[in-house]
Amino acid sequence: MTRGGTFASIDIGTTKICTVVGEMAAENDMRILGVGIAPSEGLSRGMVENIRDATEAIKTSIDKAEKSSGTRILSAHVGVAGQHIACLNNRGIIAIPDRTRPISPDDVTRVLDGARVVSIPTNREIIHVIPRYYVVDGQDHISDPVGMYGTRLDVETHIVTGVDSSIQNLTKCVENVGVQVDGLILEPLASAEAVLDQEEKEQGVVLVDIGGGTTDIALFLEGSVYHTAVLPVGGNHVTRDIVVGLRAPFQAAEEAKRKWGHAIPSMVDAREEITLEAFGSEGSKTELRRRLCEIVQARNEEILEMVTAEVKRAVHDDVISAGIVITGGGAKLQGIDLLAEQVTGWPARVGMPRNLHGLTDLLIDPAYATSVGLLQWAVNEAEASAWHRTPKASLDLSGVWRRLGNWARVLLPE
Ligand SMILES: Nc1ncnc2c1ncn2[C@@H]1O[C@H](COP(=O)(O)OP(=O)(O)OP(=O)(O)O)[C@@H](O)[C@H]1O
Ligand SMILES: [Mg+2]
């Protein structure tokens, strides 16, 4: 394993910022070298609202990751979310003039450039153009056309756009810390990378990342992404409902939710009482746990109904055979998978990051699906690029990693 394949990612969430440094140990095996987690500041619903506070919080997270990994982070892949995100699917088509030569990586770049030509408002920029599949001379669903022969190459793409000022604000916060942004990655796509099986993606699955300020959705069909969306509602809204419903301070409501919350109120004892800090002269109050759970259920039900409506707007729900995979901190609510099955009528499970080695204690948790997925996305991108630039005859894994040396994203101590 060369040291060239070392990467860093920053998940700038509404509640926490998580920087991860890692390297690819073997195929599908990620070794985590360091993690830095800091409480989030200056962010609301996945977007920057105070650059100075956000920069400070990002700095704290990066400093911690540098210390824990013994590296200096020069650049990183950064997650992007927020209500400003929009998506569309578009097709690109090119002719291959010389039918005696195989399709080259340059042809693929050309056809993807063709697919980028879409009319979007001037205040938006393209974040991703993801090839869903290629068509060579009418032959459908080709995952990689390089090396094949044909006269016409089509590509079906999923295009993600965001409002340029929101993207600039996010980028600025990271650059203020002296770290270059290698690429922005839509957060639900990163989470999907960390928690979904290929089989689920093939058979149709909805990835739902319930964070603090947003609920992110990525819908996969036939192995590739078909629809993405960011809903401006998350776990913080559940906590705020408890603040209002039980008249408790935010922190006490948050703790109560984590400790006693359940998405199915009928599954908790009808007489069980809980004591929590509350406003007013007494300073605390006793409530039925079921009351708390009813509040938690109502908002989670609403979130899941919004997810279902969003998915049904994009596709017929018959195609979601693998159902829904819930991740993000909100997936830690007891019974959330049962509630999701009730509300959506699809199979549901909670998604955890996997295939990790090294400093993983903190990361094997649904709240860190995005953080881990960002790193995996960065590695996959570099690997794909190295594959296309390497003469196939001489390609072996060490060759790929030698090329990945060019992609070194962190400085390791000698
Ligand atoms: N045990 C638990 N039960 C219920 N909710 C929980 C639990 N643990 C964490 N949460 C909730 O998860 C949310 C935070 O999730 P996460 O860390 O994924 O958010 P984030 O990435 O910071 O935010 P976002 O992705 O929306 O920008 C908070 O609202 C928190 O209350
Ligand atoms: Mg998040």
User: What are the domain boundaries of the chain?
Assistant: 86-164, 244-292
Of the CATH numbers 3.30.930.10, 3.30.565.10, 3.30.1490.110, 3.20.20.100, which one belongs to the domain with range 86-164?
A: 3.30.1490.110
Q: Under 8 Å CB-to-CB from 130, ≥6 apart: which residues?
A: 157, 158, 159, 160, 189, 224, 225
Q: Which ligand is nearest to the CA of 234?
A: 1
Atom of ligand 1 nearest to the CA of 236: 29
Q: Residue 1's pLDDT band (boundaries 50, 70, 90)? A: very low
Residue-wise pLDDT for 66-114, tens only, equals: 999 999 999 999 999 998 999 999 999 999 988 899 999 999 999 999 9
What is the predicted pLDDT for the residue at 80? Answer: 95
Atom of ligand 1 nearest to the CA of 216: 25
Long-range contacts of 51-58, Cβ-Cβ distance < 8 Å, separation of 24 or more: 51/169, 51/172, 51/173, 51/176, 54/12, 54/173, 55/173, 55/176, 55/177, 57/17, 58/10, 58/12, 58/17, 58/19, 58/173, 58/174, 58/176, 58/177
Residue 92 and residue 112 in contact, taking contact as beta carbons nearer than 8 Å: yes
* The pair of three-digit structure tokens given for residue 309, joined into one six-digit string: 């409506």
If you write DSSP's letter for every residue of 153-218 in order, what string do you get?
Answer: EEEEEEEEEEEHHHHHHHHHHHHHTT-EEEEEEEHHHHHHHHH--HHHHHH-EEEEEE-SS-EEEE
Atom of ligand 1 nearest to the CA of 296: 4
Residue-wise pLDDT for 303-351, tens only, equals: 999 999 999 999 998 899 999 999 999 999 999 999 999 999 999 999 9
Q: Higher confidence at residue 264 or residue 387?
A: 264
Q: Residue 28's pLDDT band (boundaries 50, 70, 90)? A: low
Q: How many other β-carbons are positioned within 10 Å of the β-carbon of residue 257?
A: 21
| pLDDT (average), residues 147-172 | 96
Q: Is the CB of 15 under 6 A from ligand 1?
A: yes
| pLDDT (average), residues 120-137 | 95
Q: Which ligand is nearest to the CA of 39?
A: 1
Q: Is pLDDT at 52 greater than 80 in this prediction?
A: yes
**Which of 15, 19, 293, 300 gets mutated to test ligand 1 (max ligand atoms within 8 A of its CB)?**
15
| pLDDT (average), residues 397-412 | 49
Q: Residue 404's pLDDT band (boundaries 50, 70, 90)? A: very low
What is the predicted pLDDT for the residue at 406? Answer: 39
Q: Is the full-model pTM beyond 0.85?
A: yes
Give the span between the Cα atoms of 215 and 232, in whole angstroms. Answer: 7
Half-sphere exposure of residue 337: CA atoms within 13 angstroms, side-chain side: 11
Q: Is the CB of 330 under 6 A from ligand 1?
A: yes
What is the predicted pLDDT for the residue at 232? Answer: 94
Q: Which ligand is nearest to the CA of 17?
A: 1
Give the span between the Cα atoms of 42 and 49, in whole angstroms. Answer: 5
What is the whole-number distance in angstroms between the Cα of residue 209 and the centre of ligand 1? 9
Give the span between the Cα atoms of 87 and 104, in whole angstroms. Answer: 28
What is the whole-number distance in angstroms between the Cα of residue 332 and the centre of ligand 1? 8
Give the span between the Cα atoms of 213 and 47, in whole angstroms. Answer: 9
Q: Is the CB of 211 under 6 A from ligand 1?
A: yes
Whose CA is closest to atom 6 on ligand 1?
Answer: 330
